[in-house]
Structure 1
Amino acid sequence: MPRNSLGEFEKLVLLALLRLGPEAYGAQILEELEERAQVSTSSGALYVALRRLERRGLVSSRLGDPTPERGGRAKRYFKIESPAIRALRTTHARWRSLAEGIENLLES
């Protein structure tokens, strides 16, 4: 796989971010992955993927304000960026093209 291509898990993370909007945080993303994609993963694996996506300019993040509920720690919010949306559009178009007419084959 070329270095600049996205892995399956990275694509799922980006799709979850797209659905959740610009104020998504780790626990929400994990929940979205589990509920919609039936993917159960650790928060550590998720944050490794998010950092990798951020280094590539596909995701940005910001720290919120520290809160007493979090023991004075700040929550990190993630947002999908335009290059990631373009990459997802390309991937989606490829999948649609490849899947065209496959329903009949799967039903037989």
Structure 2
Amino acid sequence: MSTYLGEFEQLVLLAILRLGKDASGSAIREAVQDGSARTVWIGAIYTTLQRMADKGLVTSSVAEPAAPGERRRKIFSLEPAGQAALSQAYATWARMTRGLKPRLESM
């Protein structure tokens, strides 16, 4: 079964993939903002993460503080279904843009 991912969901999953074991909500927000050059509210990140968790695309775990006095962080990771959905979205993008690089770059 395929899972359709909206653009924002793709950005969040790509951020989790990029961040690996450092994929906390605030780090995901920063990565999405940096990569998309748009303002992203932390509430939008957590709402999207919860929706994707409900679909079985991501899971979360609590990481112990790195240093005394720091808060514990919730770390998000891709589930196999999330990896498959992201891979499918990437393959679709690659097929649709094949041969268009010069035209896209000149726009």
**How high is the TM-score relative to the length of structure 1?**
0.82
Q: Is the 8 A contact 1:30 1:40 kept in 2?
A: no
Counterpart position of 1:20: 19
Moved over 4 A (4+): none
Residue segments in structure 2 that go unaligned for 5+ positions in a row: none
Moved more, 16-25 or 6-15: 16-25
RMSD of equivalent CA atoms: 1.9
AA paired with 1:40? Answer: T
Say which structure is richer in strand.
1
Counterpart position of 1:6: 5
**How high is the TM-score relative to the length of structure 2?**
0.82
Size of the aligned set, in residue pairs, is: 102
Q: Is the 8 A contact 1:58 1:82 kept in 2?
A: yes
Residue segments in structure 1 that go unaligned for 5+ positions in a row: none
Q: Percent identity?
A: 37
Pairing partner for 2:77 from 76, 79, 98 = 79
